[in-house]
Amino acid sequence: MVDYEAKLDEEQKREVADHSPPAAKVVHAAVSKVGGEELSRPAGSLFWSSIAAGIAIMASVSVSGALHHYASAAPWRDALVALGYPVGFLIVVLGRMQLFTEQTVIAILPFARERTAKNARRVVRLWTLVLVGNLIGAAAVAALVAYGHV
């Protein structure tokens, strides 16, 4: 194995250290910390954020549908329509909303580090609030489209 750092001066070694990704332990600790903070959030905050995420995620369906409707029938149409899929996820992630699929790992890390009944209840509480809120938000958009003449 070649030791590339052996050929670098001290300034270059510092630059390599500055541009290196954090160690796995650091990433794990940071994600676990965020998970603990999410588990401690007030129920109302989680619930309303998850409803907003359920509404926002439906932008994927809306944008894909609009692209399908307005794009001409061409061989590249399906590829163009597929570009609409990530729109809702981008809105959710950039808006830091609570989407159930994002909470599965983040919430489990604090529980995996400290397996207590209290942490288990906190995980179940978070997952329940977020899943129910996401479903309500998505159902609201679906109802609006189906019955609201949108």
38 is a domain residue = no
- Domain with 97, as residue range(s), is 44-147
94 is a domain residue = yes
Which single residue is written with the structure tokens 């994600």?
A: 31
pLDDT at 26 over 60: yes
The overall pTM is greater than 0.85: no
Tell me the pLDDT of the chain averaged across its residues.
Answer: 88
24 is a domain residue = no
65 is a domain residue = yes
User: What DSSP line would sit under 40-73, residue for residue?
Assistant: HS-HHHHHHHHHHHHHHHTHHHHHHHHHHHHS-S
121 is a domain residue = yes
Render pLDDT for 41-97 as a digit per residue (tens, 0 to 9). Answer: 999 999 999 999 999 999 998 899 888 988 888 888 888 888 888 999 899 989 888
